[in-house]
Each structure stands twice: as C-alpha cells, then as structure tokens.
Amino acid sequence: QVQLVESGGGVVQPGKSLRLSCAASGFTFSSYGIHWVRQAPGKGLEWVAIISFDGSNKYYEDSVKGRFTISRDNSKNTLYLQMNSLRVEDTAVYYCAKEAANEDWYFDLWGRGTLVTVSS
Amino acid sequence: SYVLTQPPSVSVAPGQTARITCGGNNIGSKSVHWYQQKPGQAPVLVVYDDSDRPSGIPDRFSGSNSGNTATLTISRVEAGDEADYYCQVWDSSSDHVVFGGGTKLTVL
C-alpha cells in the first residue's frame, strides 16, 4: 500500500549525531520531492528540509542548515536525514512527507513519524 | 522570512460553522494548504491550493484566500472534527515551506 515509514529515532546526547530513514512504498518514489517536517512535544509543525525528486535540489530551515543533511537513494526508495551537532531544541517527532506532485509544495502523504530526543 | 498567523483556538457548537483564519502578507498571491492533525496522529491534508479538497475529504471543508487572509471553513461541525489545524504555504523568496502556528478546534 501507499505509505511512508520513518525509523532511526531515539535518545541521543547533545552534540551527537543520528540518521533518520524514511522508507517509501506503493508509489513511484523517484518522481516526487520529499520533505522532513518536525513537531516538538506539544508544539506546532515545523518544516525542516526538502529534496527534489532526483536529489539535485535541497533546501533547509535556517536553524538546521549546516548541521542536517537530507539525501535519498531512489534505488532503495528511501529518504534520509543525517543530523549532526544535535541540540536539545531538536527534540521532536520527525515526519517525512511526500509532495502531491513534483514541486506542488504541499503534502498528500505523511509517515507516522519517529521521535528524536536530545538529552544529556 | 514569511510568517503565517493563526488564532490559537476556535470553539464551535456541533452543527455550526467554524472559520479558522491564516494571516500573512499578501497571502492572496500564494497557494494555501490546510492540514488536520488529531492527537497522536500524522497531519492529513484537508484543503489544497486555497480551496480544493483531496478525495475522501467531506465537502463540509472548504477554503478561501484573498488579500492578507486565508480561511478554512468547516460547515456542520461534528465532534470528530475536533483537532489542530495548520495552514501552509511555499515561500518562493526563501525556498522554504512555512506553517502557521496551528489552531486548536474545540467542539463544545
């Protein structure tokens, strides 16, 4: 079925690294831009990053630029988020979300999310 | 950076109409999208491109966008509509997706 499944979350100390994955199925993964969106506990949605369908374009929210790297492997139908130099304020549920159509800039499919907790 | 402003909460009685606003500078020139999020669940798209509905979304959900305000309207509100609602745009000047702060809809 059509779905996105995130994994890789957990508890990590400040300054450490973590890599999240998002496995896609049921649609042609290589045809769509995919985003990471996060939600801190009890807070609203915050966009993190986007990668274009072919990986040629990437954009980041300002607070993660230089620390987080978005990438994808279209042969494995998988999206990644490499998170380095993690901060307490990065604690959140991280969702991957699919664009409805290439560069349509809204999301018609979301994963269930994976929780990242940054704490000493 | 572009900012979207939503009221923190809206309350409405069952059967009445709820209107949730999303304010932004000249937002009428952008395409606005709306998501519903229930506790413990991922967001769900309920309106896209200002006023279009994805398949499976009841026609009780509608949207409009003009000037500096976009509005999500939920007619004949039901208890199951109680949720957080977020507006969202693409800011082409910064190449960023922007979300509003969210509005908690309470059905009295």
Residue B28 has pLDDT above 90, yes or no: yes
A30: three-class secondary structure by DSSP: helix
Mean pLDDT of B7-12: 98
Is A27 at the interface with chain B, CB within 8 A? Answer: no
How much is the pLDDT for A104? Answer: 80
**Whose CA is closest to A10, among A68, A85, A96, A94?**
A94
b/e map of B6-30 (b: 16 or more CB within 10 Å)? Answer: beeebebeeeeebebbbbbeebeeb
Contact A44 B45 (CB under 8 A): no
What distance in Å separates residue A73's CA from the closest CA in chain B? 23
Alpha-carbon span A55 to A37, nearest angstrom: 17
Residue B27 in contact with residue B4, Cβ under 8 Å? yes
B42–A45: do the CB atoms touch at under 8 Å?
no
pLDDT at site A103: 77
Average pLDDT estimate for A41-49: 98
| B100: confidence class by pLDDT, cuts 50, 70, 90 | very high
Spatial distance between the Cα atoms of A43 and A23, rounded to a whole number of angstroms: 25
> How distant is the Cα of B50 from the closest Cα of chain A, in angstroms?
11
CB-based contact (8 Å) between A35 and chain B?
Answer: yes
- Work out the average pLDDT over B9-23: 98
